[in-house]
Amino acid sequence: MDRLEVDVQDAFKSYGTACVLRGLSMAVHPGTIYALLGPSGCGKTTLLNCIIGRTSLDSGTIRLAVRRREDVGYMPQSIALYMMLNIHETLSYYGRVYGIEDEDIQVQAVKLSQLLELPPFHRIVDTLSGGQQRRVSLAVSLIHNPQLLILDEPTVGLDPILSESIWQYLMKLSTEQKKTIIITTHYIEEARHADKVGLMRGGILLCEEAPTDLMLKNNCDTMEAVFLKLSYIQEKNKDMDPPVMSSTNTSSSPFQKASIFKKSCFYAELVKNMFFVWRNKPMLIFLFGLPIVVTFLFNICIGHKVTGLSVAMLNKEVENGIADCDNFHYHGCNLSFPLGCRLVKTLQSNDVNLIEFDDMEEAHFAARKNNVWGIIEVPENYTAGMLNRLTNNLKTKDHNVEASSVNVWLDMSNQNIGNLLKLDIWNAYNAYMEMLYVDCGWPVEATRVPIKINKPIYGVVVPNLTHYASPAIILLLIFYLPMSYTIGVLVQEKVLGVLERSLVAGVTLTEVFLAHGAVQIILLGIQMSLSMYVLYSVYDSPFIGDPLTTALLLLLQGISGLAFGFFVALIFDEMKNATYAALGSCFTFFFLSGMVWPQAGIHYFLLWFKWLVPVAYSVESLRSLTAKGWPISHPIVMKGFISVAAWILAFCLFAQIILRFRKGSFTTT
């Protein structure tokens, strides 16, 4: 029996309930061109996918004379090229994936360029015409001079002259170099050039013969006529003896198991990723610009004193309201100066915009119209009441308590503004009272609340929200930037079919992840430095910890973002779904990270699930590192490191599980 280059026996393959290959057998001899013809949807691509190991058969066997992926050249139906690379980089990438030395790639690239009339090497693939891209795609499948060539519709959309020249080249390859070529095409007449034609319909081969023999046997002048005749016969007999799948006859991968890490593939991926980043200038600006813009905006917009808030003022103890306050001498133990005016002056010096009202009804109306954030009413006998209260202390009568109380109504619909105003009013009261006590030579301590807040153990006397939230903002940034970049790049590679093409060529997902990770770590280092510079140097967020430990925690957090992005990219094949997943997780992580509100205030039920958030423990850890200067051995800091490391491992494990579930959908068997 003749040795076969490709031998397919009783192949069955279904997608769900649709049976695409139904007991198909096919024999391809070495050094020949085999044209696989058939209508759209008859299963040609599925058959080729099974041959090259992109997916596996449900039943049946595929035997190849070649055992290594490097001996197969595959051109998919879609263009499946990296659009950002130029022609030379594209050919070099695939050449390296196949383990060819750079000098040999150069020689072969020049040869293919002449044969296929490729545009100049420096041209970026994205700028080429459809026909030019198809020729580059064909050159990619030939760059390593493979023994077996599998071409899925290489001539589709090409002009007849170019199609003819490609056929001539393929014929030369098979006759002179004894290469075996399997080619699918919709252009049935083109198949006359092949040594053997397989007419496929409804998942089976109607016949397998030399084109001239086929036409002779069927008494037809054209291949089209043969195909029509055989299709008609099959249609008539379709109910007779449908092929039955043998459950015992299962297929295994036709290729030798390759190692999961090859230096050449890693290097090819690494160089390709670097070119990708370098070519994509807008993306680069975004990647480096975003940390700067976010950290600057964060510091500019958050945690600052709110000034200029308007408040309605009804000062009933002076006849002409606030204007009268200017008529009194403010300083000294001047008890004829109405104390309400002291409150007014202190509030004004604190940038509260007091708007005078004579009538309480009007003041409320202004609050309802959102013109003021609250109303302050100083009673008619405020000063007398207050002095009486100060003098009589415990013996103060109720009417004096009433007279010495300033009434305040606040619009608390905005918690922050309401609380800030409340604080302004408390502070103004305390300030004017203290000043009065000093001016009159009374003991100042007597007016203070008898609780002494001493120098803080950590942090500053007046902490600010920016300092509190900065560890969360930097960690979330460092998590999300690599995550979104990874999702963007990998899902795009999947959509374009380039990831599959690389996997078919022998690249493993481990190499993809490591090469991608290596480039990401460089980007991450720059992003981290930029964010830290803005937060800790330009804006002076508290930093008394060890910079190296801090950088290590941030780096690990970045890698966990990268692993999460990889995991999401494996699950979703469409960009929009991956984006939804990223956005959904972003909001969840944002709230549970304790950025807006301390984690201790989160509902206890959710607190049980805090460990499910990859940034939850690291935020506390980073805060302790930077603001408290605790070492890595401190349990709180250590928890952050353990949590991030565990998440990296967990995401890698989840990715493995996804790969097992999705085996055959975009990974090679």
Ligand X SMILES: Nc1ncnc2c1ncn2[C@@H]1O[C@H](COP(=O)(O)OP(=O)(O)OP(=O)(O)O)[C@@H](O)[C@H]1O
What residues make contact with ligand X under the rule CB under 6 A? 15, 20, 38, 40-46, 77
- The C-alpha atoms of residue 485 and residue 273 are separated, in whole angstroms, by 12
Cα-based angle 569, 570, 573 (whole degrees, multiple of 5): 70
Q: Which amino acid is at 93?
A: Y
Note the residue count of the chain. Answer: 669
Pick the closer one to ligand X by CB: 200 or 627.
200
- Identify the sign of the CA torsion 164, 170, 176, 180: negative
- The C-alpha atoms of residue 403 and residue 378 are separated, in whole angstroms, by 9
Pick the closer one to ligand X by CB: 70 or 493.
493
Which residues lie across from 600 on neighbouring strands? Answer: none
Long-range contacts of 535-540 (CB under 8 A, 24+ apart): 535/295, 535/299, 535/470, 535/473, 535/474, 536/626, 538/296, 538/299, 539/295, 539/299, 539/466
Q: Considering the complex, what minimum distance in angstroms separates the CB of residue 499 from ligand X? A: 15
- The C-alpha atoms of residue 140 and residue 498 are separated, in whole angstroms, by 12
Q: Considering the complex, what minimum distance in angstroms separates the CB of residue 632 from ligand X? A: 48
Q: Considering the complex, what minimum distance in angstroms separates the CB of residue 43 from ligand X? A: 4
Q: Considering the complex, what minimum distance in angstroms separates the CB of residue 242 from ligand X? A: 17
- The C-alpha atoms of residue 116 and residue 162 are separated, in whole angstroms, by 9
Pick the closer one to ligand X by CB: 45 or 508.
45
Q: Which backbone phi and psi does 79 adopt, to 5 degrees? A: -65, -40
Pick the closer one to ligand X by CB: 46 or 56.
46
Pick the closer one to ligand X by CB: 54 or 516.
54
Pick the closer one to ligand X by CB: 22 or 179.
22
For 449, other C-beta atoms within 10 Å of its C-beta total: 7
Q: Considering the complex, what minimum distance in angstroms separates the CB of residue 194 from ligand X? A: 17
Say if CB 272 and CB 93 are below 8 A apart.
yes
Q: Are strands 353-356 and 374-378 parallel, antiparallel or unpaired?
A: unpaired
The DSSP annotation for 459-514 comes to: S-SS--HHHHHHHHHHHHHHHHHHHHHHHHHHHHHHHHTHHHHHHHHT--HHHHHH
Pick the closer one to ligand X by CB: 46 or 299.
46
Pick the closer one to ligand X by CB: 21 or 478.
21
Q: Considering the complex, what minimum distance in angstroms separates the CB of residue 232 from ligand X? A: 19
Pick the closer one to ligand X by CB: 424 or 500.
500
Q: Considering the complex, what minimum distance in angstroms separates the CB of residue 200 from ligand X? A: 7
b/e sequence 477-504, b meaning 16+ C-beta within 10 Å: bbbbbbbbbbbbbbbbbbebbbbbbbbb
Q: Considering the complex, what minimum distance in angstroms separates the CB of residue 588 from ligand X? A: 32
Q: Considering the complex, what minimum distance in angstroms separates the CB of residue 47 from ligand X? A: 7
Q: Considering the complex, what minimum distance in angstroms separates the CB of residue 186 from ligand X? A: 6
Q: Which amino acid is at 220?
A: C
H or E stretch covering 21: strand 18-28
Pick the closer one to ligand X by CB: 203 or 482.
203
Pick the closer one to ligand X by CB: 20 or 363.
20
Pick the closer one to ligand X by CB: 448 or 662.
662
Across 299-398, the runs of DSSP E, i.e. the strands, are: 310-315, 353-356, 374-378
- The C-alpha atoms of residue 655 and residue 143 are separated, in whole angstroms, by 32
Q: Considering the complex, what minimum distance in angstroms separates the CB of residue 141 from ligand X? A: 17
Q: Considering the complex, what minimum distance in angstroms separates the CB of residue 636 from ligand X? A: 49
**CA dist list (Å): 272 to 148, 221, 225, 332, 612:** 26, 50, 47, 77, 35
Say if CB 615 and CB 479 are below 8 A apart.
yes
In a 13 Å sphere around the CA of 557, the CA atoms on its Cβ side amount to 31
Pick the closer one to ligand X by CB: 310 or 669.
669
Q: Considering the complex, what minimum distance in angstroms separates the CB of residue 29 from ligand X? A: 23
Say if CB 192 and CB 168 are below 8 A apart.
no
Q: Considering the complex, what minimum distance in angstroms separates the CB of residue 39 from ligand X? A: 7
Say if CB 378 and CB 316 are below 8 A apart.
yes
Pick the closer one to ligand X by CB: 16 or 450.
16
**CA dist list (Å): 182 to 27, 31, 256:** 11, 11, 21
